[in-house]
Structure 1
């Protein structure tokens, strides 16, 4: 297979293939299995289709190759990310995010901490306004580095959002908050759940598709992978 892949042996009965959001191909094998080649050959078409679908969905965002790969997409806009030695400072202007930190401090860690608080502030504003509109109450709001989802809500009413959500434009961020608040009324994504979503965002289907596109972008974008520490 021309497509690179990696293998993990786990305590599973049957082998399987996973294509990650960053197009990393993972082959999971039972402890006693030795070679993945037959499995890969059998499912080669499926793997290639999944990878092509990811590329196609990212391209639908209308970004050029440099923006997709190299520029920091922050709150829906593309920036050059610049790290400099100096006093603690972060500025966003003229198409650049400039991060300054002392030489003995990791500038990306400094930026990640700042970004976590910026995202928390924005999501808190949305959550407070929308909770009142939807007539629900949430408990606490957390920013986490979740691996498989944009956000989640707990049975205690706590909202958890992925740090990568800072890649999203304002309207999608707001929709993400609405999605989780509606879960406080309906835990399952059934017809009633989507009916409630549609009451506030009639174009919810388009917004949900856009969230998938940005999910793939957030895992392909090099600056974001550096920020997360991948």
Structure 2
């Protein structure tokens, strides 16, 4: 790792060299400064460019520091919590002798997972099967909620998506294809409903405006006037929406 001094702080940065022709500067969600550079660019030239971009880099680092860190992997034991529609539910796993497959139920402030008693002594298998069941349950809930919101807003926006797909997406909450297919990350069902609604409207508006132009954001604002607040919520809290 290299180091550079900005104002009164010393910052580490990583250089990744390749056959590219220009220098790229990245500040990621883990507050890491990464420089993608041509193979023969000197450290001196890289540092000179970083100095030129000092204010931008510091602003980015400050903004990324607001993002909440990803929680530790779940063990799926009593007392852990999971999000659903923006609310935290206490997890209560229960071993039962009279069931053959896992069952999930929301009861007041809790999320109850009933599993076959034979899984009780097989920790790793129990974790794998509970995680798989939860993902299937979340996907089903997301499909229902997203379709409900699409049916409401597509009438106002006068659009008709071709296909709605709920899937795992590593870096996106949603996307719109050239074939008018809308894709949504199943994890969004963990967010508050107003945030889900913003995401649905965002993707529906892409059926009118394919890119993020001024007209695009104006159309979003006509339906979700406080969309910037919802967008910011996702930026800061998005990494919490995981199991």
Counterpart selection for 2:109 from 95, 101, 124: 95
What is the TM-score normalised by the length of structure 1?
A: 0.71
1:17 to 3, 12, 25: 25
The alignment partner of 1:186 has SS state of coil
Please state how far the C-alpha of 1:124 moved relative to its aligned partner: 0.9
**Matches of 2:94 and 2:13, distance apart in 1:** 36
Does residue 119 (structure 1) correspond to residue 142 (structure 2)? The answer is yes
Aligned in 2, Cα 1:198/1:119: closer, same or farther, shift over 3 Å?
Answer: same
Gaps of 5+ in 2: 4-9, 73-80
Give the greater-gyration-radius structure (CA).
2
Specify the SS of the correspondent of 1:126. helix
Residue of structure 2 equivalent to 1:130: 153
Say which of 199, 216, 224 aligns to 1:176: 199
* Alignment partner, residue 216 of structure 1: 236
* Aligned residue number for residue 108 of structure 1: 131
> Are the aligned partners of 2:195 and 2:231 in contact in 1 as well (CA < 8 Å)?
yes
Greater than 6 Å deviation, 4+ residue runs: 2-5, 33-36
* TM-aligned CA deviation for residue 112 of structure 1: 1.5
Higher helix share: 1
Deviation at 1:158, TM superposition (A): 0.5
Q: Secondary structure at the match of 2:135?
A: helix
Q: CA deviation at 1:127?
A: 0.9
Counterpart among 159, 169, 175 of residue 146 in structure 1: 169
User: In 2 relative to 1, CA 139–28 (structure 1 residues): closer, same or farther, beyond 3 Å?
Assistant: same
Q: Is the 8 A contact 1:89 1:100 kept in 2?
A: yes
Aligned-residue RMSD, C-alpha = 3.6
State the number of aligned residues: 212
Alignment partner, residue 88 of structure 2: 78
Check the 8 A contact 2:175/2:182 in 1, yes or no: yes
Whole-angstrom CA distance in 2 between matches of 1:28 and 1:83: 46
Higher strand share: 2
Deviation of the 1:160 alpha carbon: 0.6
- The 2-side partners of 1:194 and 1:78 are apart by 31
- CA contact under 8 A between 2:220 and 2:227: conserved in structure 1? no
Instruction: Give 1:92 deviation, angstroms.
Output: 2.7
The TM-score with structure 2 as length reference comes to 0.68
Are 1:167 and 1:218, in contact at CA under 8 Å, matched by a contact in 2? no
Structure 1: gaps (5+ residues): 59-64
What is the alpha-carbon distance in structure 1 between the residues aligned to residue 134 and residue 18 of structure 2?
36
Whether the 8 Å contact between 1:151 and 1:159 is mirrored in structure 2 is: yes
Distance 2:92 2:23 in 1: 43
